[in-house]
Amino acid sequence: MKTKAVLSQTEVTAILDAARSEAQNNGWAVTIVVADDGGHPLALERLDGCAPIASYIATEKARSAAVGRRETKGYEDMVNGGRNAFLSAPVVCSLEGGVPVIVEGQVIGSVGVSGVTAAQDAQIAKAGVAAIAN
């Protein structure tokens, strides 16, 4: 059985484009981050015109979504040959926020959004994830 290991650059771009479109259609100036399955940022964009470096919350949301999902079944995955990139991720202080990207039961990344309410950021993140759904 072939499993998908990583998000391609094309998929990262599609996620970011769809999330940005959802945010802009609703008039929300937010920060959007796409991360790999270990929580390491692959793309970061702020829609409020500020410097990308000042987006700590969205980065942490994306990281905790990926890392948190991996840690919930970490040992089981390692024993069964699952990916364990989360072991190299920075320490996570919270497992809240963010939406994991799951393909065939495998977490391959996540999307985090900051700057709006929890329901609104989930709506933006889910729109991004839906852009690459099979």
Question: Amino acid letter at 28?
Answer: W
Let me know the angle formed at the C-alpha of 65 by 37 and 82, rounded to the nearest 5 degrees.
35
What strands, in cross-sheet order, belong to the sheet with 99-103? Answer: 41-46, 31-36, 106-114, 99-103
63-121 tens-digit pLDDT? 888 777 665 554 444 444 544 444 444 444 444 578 888 877 778 889 999 888 888 88
pLDDT band at residue 61 under the 50/70/90 scheme: confident
> pTM of this prediction?
0.77
Give me Rg for the CA atoms of the chain. 14
Q: What is the pLDDT of residue 16?
A: 95
Q: What local confidence, expressed as pLDDT, does residue 15 receive?
A: 95
What are the two backbone dihedrals, phi and then psi, of residue 42, each rounded to the nearest 5 degrees?
Answer: -105, -30
Residue with tokens 């999330």: 19
Average predicted confidence (pLDDT) for the chain: 77
Q: Which residues of 88-110 are buried (b: 16+ CB within 10 A; e: fewer)?
A: ebeebeeeebbbbbebeebbbbb
